[in-house]
Amino acid sequence: MQIDEFESQFKSALKEHYTYGPVSIESCALITDLVGADAVRLTNIVKRLVPELPGTPYQRTERLSWHTLGGDRYSSVKSMLAEVEKIRPDILVVQRNLKTDPDDLVCGLSNYLDALTQTCRTPVLLLPELTLDQLEEQISEPLEVMVQTPHLVGDSSLINWGLRFALPNGRLYLVHIENKRVFDQYIDIISRIPEIHTDIAQDSLREKLLSLPSEFIEQARSVLRSKEPMIDVHGIVELGHRIVDYRRLIETHNIELVITYTQDEHLTAINTIAYSLAIAFRDVPILLL
Residue 6 in this model has a pLDDT that exceeds 70: no
Whether the pLDDT of residue 10 is over 50: the answer is: no
Nearest to 158 by CA among 24, 288, 17: 288
Partnered with residue 91 across adjacent β-strands are: 28
Cβ atoms within 10 Å of 190's Cβ, excluding its own: 16
For residue 249, what pLDDT is reported? 96
pLDDT value of residue 264: 58
Residue type, 161: W
Q: How many CB atoms lie within 10 A of CB 181?
A: 9
Least confident interval from 69-83, 199-213, 226-240:
199-213
Judged on CB neighbours under 10 Å (0-12, 13-18, 19+), 5 is exposed
pLDDT tens digit string along 171-192? Answer: 999 999 998 998 898 889 888 8
- How confident is the model over 34-63, as pLDDT tens digits? 999 999 999 999 999 998 876 655 555 678
Topology given in CATH for the domain delimited by 3-288? Rossmann fold (3.40.50)
Q: How confident is the model at residue 74 (pLDDT cuts 50, 70, 90)?
A: very high
For residues 214-239, average pLDDT? 94
Backbone Cα Rg of the chain: 21
Domain regions of the chain by residue span:
3-288
